């Protein structure tokens, strides 16, 4: 196996190591802890009163819009990274190209701003 | 690759050694940060002594806490989505463990030497958002759900300035590999904190928000949400989230030290010398403590933001500033 692939094998092994650590801690804990079931213990906490309705209530649409904005900007950040490593080679040409790209990016942010999407009401 | 020893190690032997070092590299700084800053510095800043009874100056308090958490009853809420509820701590800790891999501790002392180092770190660190959302959703509690959503909204908002603040460093170093970035700072004769101070500022603030530490702790705002997505977690499962949070704080401090403070190098000392493999990790740890000190100082000093202020700061101030930083750095890079 090449050095490159081996590096990623190490990554996978470290992931398994984390799973093993969590499992081990849960295992040790299950040997030490008491278990005294009472029905009241398993009610969701709602500041001391009995919970009303279900815990999975509706939530605000604002989070959804911010998530959309994030996807847009994050995908564009992906394009900036390879350019950043090769800037010396591209010189002024690369600089102008990226300036235009970032300008369009800012225009999108400005549009969202003017539309009032960024305002948290 | 791992050790500068003259012995040839097989891949599996090397990996076992790396695994042990990795465990130490995750858990030891975590304990050090919690004891030094959360127990002692916070106490001193609030005119109290903090833990004093267990061991000299309360040094064994962490072990006592660990023992306490181990003995707590394991409570699953009756209405919870049991699988998602149980899987959430796994996801968060796996993300933390993969994050530590990219840190270089010396010229040869690296876990893995991949070309996309810093990009890999940023990608893996954002996996923990999924774990937090799972915790919030799986608990089937109103506080947890709100806390999880707030955490997700906050983490994705500050992910962007974090990613963009690193681009300035990448432009200067012309590489995504963290070892290369360290060597470049040594060649440059200057740590990147000097030319990239805007980037450093953005990085620090974003990391604070990514860790959901005060003043960015809206997801866990005690006065409104009890403890947010952690409300229904108790005992060892709570402790796992706690470890993940502070381990991530330690690793992000170390990444900040690598990017902006020259990593494991010491000024005026040959960076490729053999002995740097041994003292490099200690130098990196010292710089990590320095950045962690700043993070915890902000944590203790500032009051909490409101949700709208928090989003406004990210979208209307940090992201435009980060883009401006990229453009200025690029212009200077080409012009000079």
Q: What is the ipTM of this complex?
A: 0.82
Q: Which of B94, B99, B237 to mutate to test the interface with A (most CBs of A within 10 A)?
A: B94
Question: Shortest Cα distance from A95 to chain B (angstroms)?
Answer: 7
Residues of A in contact with B165 (CB under 8 A): none
Determine, for residues B70 and A11 on separate chains, whether the beta-carbon distance falls below 8 Å: no
Question: Shortest Cα distance from B115 to chain A (angstroms)?
Answer: 9
Tens digit of pLDDT at every position of chain A (121 positions): 677 777 788 888 888 888 888 888 888 888 888 888 888 878 877 777 777 777 777 777 777 777 888 888 888 888 888 888 888 788 788 888 888 888 888 888 888 888 877 777 6
Q: Measuring CA to CA, which residue among B234, B229, B242 is closest to residue B73?
A: B234
| B13: in domain | no
Question: Rounded CA gap, A31 and A20, in Å?
Answer: 17
Question: Shortest Cα distance from B285 to chain A (angstroms)?
Answer: 21
Determine, for residues B79 and A54 on separate chains, whether the beta-carbon distance falls below 8 Å: yes
What's the confidence (pLDDT) of residue B5?
Answer: 55
Determine, for residues B100 and A21 on separate chains, whether the beta-carbon distance falls below 8 Å: no
Q: Measuring CA to CA, which residue among B206, B200, B207, B209 is closest to residue B261?
A: B200
pLDDT digits (tens, 9 = 90+) for B164-210: 888 888 888 888 888 888 888 888 878 888 888 888 999 999 998 88
- Asked whether residue B102 carries a pLDDT value surpassing 70, the answer given is yes
What pairs with residue B110 in β-bridges? B104
Residue owning tokens 């690193």: B166
| B54: in domain | no
Q: How many domains does chain B have?
A: 1
Taking CA–CA distances from A17, the nearest residue in chain B reads B19
Say if CB A18 and CB B124 are below 8 A apart: no
Interface A–B counts its CB contacts (< 8 A) at: 201
| B181: in domain | yes
| B5: in domain | no
3-state class (DSSP) for residue B280: helix
Question: Rounded CA gap, B258 and B181, in Å?
Answer: 8
Question: Rounded CA gap, B1 and B277, in Å?
Answer: 11
Mean pLDDT of B133-150: 84
Question: Shortest Cα distance from B70 to chain A (angstroms)?
Answer: 5
| B34: in domain | no
Q: Measuring CA to CA, which residue among B202, B217, B124, B110 is closest to residue B162?
A: B202
- Given CB atoms, is A58 within the 8 Å cutoff of chain B? no
Residues of B in contact with A12 (CB under 8 A): none
| B11: in domain | no
What's the confidence (pLDDT) of residue A1?
Answer: 63
Mean pLDDT for all residues in chain B: 84
pLDDT digits (tens, 9 = 90+) for B246-290: 898 899 999 999 888 888 888 877 777 777 778 888 888 898 999
pLDDT digits (tens, 9 = 90+) for B294-322: 999 988 888 888 878 888 888 888 888 98
Mean pLDDT of B113-127: 85
Q: Which of B121, B124, B141, B196 to mutate to test the interface with A (most CBs of A within 10 A)?
A: B141
| B100: in domain | yes
Determine, for residues B140 and A81 on separate chains, whether the beta-carbon distance falls below 8 Å: no
What's the confidence (pLDDT) of residue B2?
Answer: 47
Count of CB atoms within 10 A of residue B11's CB? Answer: 12
Please report how the helices B142-173 and B117-125 are oriented relative to each other, as an axis angle in degrees rounded to 10: 170
Mean pLDDT of B50-77: 85
- Asked whether residue B3 carries a pLDDT value surpassing 60, the answer given is no
Residue owning tokens 């790396």: B18
Its domain, for residue B157, covers 72-335
Distances (CA, A) of B79 to A51, A88, B135, B230, B309: 11, 58, 14, 16, 34
Count of CB atoms within 10 A of residue A2's CB? Answer: 6
Determine, for residues A92 and B334 on separate chains, whether the beta-carbon distance falls below 8 Å: yes
What's the confidence (pLDDT) of residue B1?
Answer: 45
Determine, for residues B144 and A55 on separate chains, whether the beta-carbon distance falls below 8 Å: yes
Peptide bond into B215 cis (omega under 30): yes
Question: Shortest Cα distance from A9 to chain B (angstroms)?
Answer: 10
| B80: in domain | yes
Chain A stretch 60-79, residues whose beta carbon is closer than 8 A to a beta carbon of chain B: 60, 62-63, 66-67, 69-70, 73-74, 77
């Amino acid at each position: 196996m090449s050095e490159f692939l081996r590096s990623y094998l190490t990554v996978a092994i470290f992931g398994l190591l984390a799973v093993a650590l969590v499992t081990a801690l849960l295992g040790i804990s299950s040997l030490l802890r008491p278990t005294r079931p009472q029905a009241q213990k398993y009610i969701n906490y709602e500041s001391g009163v009995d919970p009303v309705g279900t815990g999975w209530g509706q939530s605000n649409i604002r989070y959804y819009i911010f998530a959309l904005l994030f996807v847009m900007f994050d995908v564009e950040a992906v394009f900036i990274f390879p350019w950043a490593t090769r800037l010396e080679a591209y010189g002024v040409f690369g600089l102008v190209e990226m300036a235009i790209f970032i300008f369009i990016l800012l225009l999108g942010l400005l549009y969202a701003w003017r539309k009032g999407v960024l305002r948290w009401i | 690759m791992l050790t500068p020893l003259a012995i040839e190690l097989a891949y599996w032997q090397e990996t076992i050694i790396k695994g042990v070092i990795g465990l130490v590299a995750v858990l030891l700084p975590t304990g050090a940060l919690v004891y030094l800053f959360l127990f002692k510095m916070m106490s001193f800043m609030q005119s109290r002594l903090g833990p004093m009874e267990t061991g000299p100056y309360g040094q064994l308090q962490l072990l006592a806490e660990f023992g306490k958490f181990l003995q707590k009853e394991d409570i699953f809420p009756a209405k919870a989505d049991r699988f998602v509820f149980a899987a959430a701590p796994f996801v968060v800790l796996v993300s933390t463990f993969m994050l530590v891999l990219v840190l270089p501790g010396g010229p040869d002392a690296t876990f893995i030497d991949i070309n996309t180092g810093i990009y890999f770190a940023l990608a893996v660190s954002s996996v923990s958002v999924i774990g937090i959302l799972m915790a919030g959703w799986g608990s089937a509690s109103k506080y947890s759900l709100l806390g999880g959503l707030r955490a997700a909204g906050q983490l994705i908002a500050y992910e962007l300035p974090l990613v963009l603040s690193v681009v300035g460093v990448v432009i200067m170093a012309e590489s995504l590999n963290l070892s290369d970035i360290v060597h470049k700072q040594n060649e440059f004769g200057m740590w990147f904190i000097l030319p990239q101070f805007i980037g450093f500022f953005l990085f620090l603030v974003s990391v604070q928000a990514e860790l959901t530490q005060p003043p960015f702790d809206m997801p866990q705002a005690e006065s409104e949400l009890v403890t947010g997505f952690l409300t229904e977690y108790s005992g060892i499962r709570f402790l796992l989230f706690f470890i993940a949070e502070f381990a991530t704080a330690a690793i992000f401090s170390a990444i900040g030290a690598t990017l902006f403070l020259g990593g494991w190098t010491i000024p005026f000392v040959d960076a490729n010398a053999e002995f740097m493999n041994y003292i490099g990790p200690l130098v990196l740890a010292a710089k990590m403590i320095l950045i962690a000190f700043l993070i915890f100082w902000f944590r203790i000093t500032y009051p909490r933001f409101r949700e709208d202020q928090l989003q406004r700061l990210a979208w209307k101030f940090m992201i435009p500033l980060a883009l401006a930083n990229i453009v200025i750095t690029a212009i200077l890079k080409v012009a000079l």
